[in-house]
Amino acid sequence: MKVLLVTGGAGFIGSNFVHSQLKNTENKIINLDKLTYAGNPQNLATLANESRHVFVQGDIGDSVLLEKLLADHQPDAVVNFAAESHVDRSIHGPEDFIQTNVVGTFHLLEAIRAYWNQLNPQSQQSFRFLHISTDEVYGSLTTDAPAFSETNPYAPNSPYSASKAASDHLVRAYHHTYGLPTLTTNCSNNYGPFQFPEKLIPLLIMNALQGKALPIYGDGQNIRDWLYVEDHCSAIAAVLAKGSVGEVYNIGGNYEKTNLEIVHTVCAILDELVPDSPYRPHHKLITYVKDRPGHDRRYAIDPSKIAREIGWQPAETFESGIRKTIAWYLEHRGWVENISSGSYQNWIAKNYGAR
């Protein structure tokens, strides 16, 4: 059994990773999450009696707390999911993104460096710090450009992606300057269970079921590469086990879709799975809204390095993953209702109301 400190483990991808680790390994998870709007304790509700899961509410910027957690639990690895991660929110309020993604990552790295320095040589050699990042740090692609590889220069276009790029650079610097055994992964758009409903796919599902408008930015032709979250979790586990120290691995689903294709797919599956919906056919709810500032046209990930060096491939197609995702939301309407609080509704009104 290994001990993993997972930061941001109550969020969308982090909570899926925690569940995956507890299901598929004997590892013990120390789960640190600040529980901001996107960190949801309900994502961990089924783990209440799991002795291998220890939840701690706290901030990666709290150096005293980090020092204590590292000393008390002596983790073999740290997996850092903690981040502000929504482009629209970063446009409305960039400061939180700088504080969490840049300053918070700095404090986390400093605490881990101090902890790692006092480990014995064997433990130092086996320790890993895995930093979870995004394809958005690479900027935007034209429709005919090759997909992003690990050698693409960084060209972030939003406060969110700029803050993640800065954190990636810090992680790289701590490896090259201090020898900290780091790994970085840059993933494409995730979807699946437990995703906060400000993101496209859960927003479409929720709004369609309630007969609300399905807002599509601009002309709907922005392209994203889509990755089922459980595939992402298996890739992270593979990188943690087999990745070369100091390296970056791009994780993608090999499924590029326009936003308009996504909404039509979701609507068609809802028409099938909810035949008694008064809003069928759901595609009638599609509404085009004013594009967001600086909206990147296309992201696409080239995952050939992780396939070649580690042997990872996604298990789900987009068609199978999106069906599982929609089925999960239909089966967990209580989770959806509880997360759709007044603050979330205020955010939706703020972001989409003027469009």
Annotation says 296 is catalytic: no
Q: Tokens 């930015």 — which residue?
A: 217
**Is 59 a catalytic site residue?**
no
Count CB neighbours of 146 within 10 A: 9
Cβ neighbours, 10 Å, residue 272: 11
Crossing angle of helices 63-73 and 105-117, in 10° steps, is: 40
Q: How far is residue 59's CA from residue 62's CA, in Å, rounded to a whole number?
A: 5
Question: Does residue 277 contact residue 270 with C-beta atoms inside 8 Å?
Answer: yes
Catalytic residue selected from 59, 135, 230, 302:
135
- Whether 135 is a known active-site residue: answer yes
Measured CA to CA in angstroms, residue 267 lies from 21, 204, 220, 224, 273 at distances of: 33, 8, 15, 18, 10
- Residue type present at position 71: A
Selected catalytic residue, list 33, 59, 88, 136: 136
**Signed CA dihedral, 170, 175, 179, 183: sign only:** positive
- Contact predicate 288/216, CB 8 Å: yes
Whole-number Å distance between alpha carbons of 81 and 97 = 14
**H-assigned helices in 211-312:** 229-242, 259-273, 304-310
Give, in degrees to the nearest 5, the angle at Cα 88 between 84 and 92: 90
**Active-site residue, selected from the candidate residues 33, 59, 115, 160:** 160
Pairwise CA distance, residues 281 & 270, whole Å: 9
* Among candidate residues 34, 35, 39, 29, the one with its CA nearest the CA of residue 5: 29
- Catalytically active residues are 135-136, 160
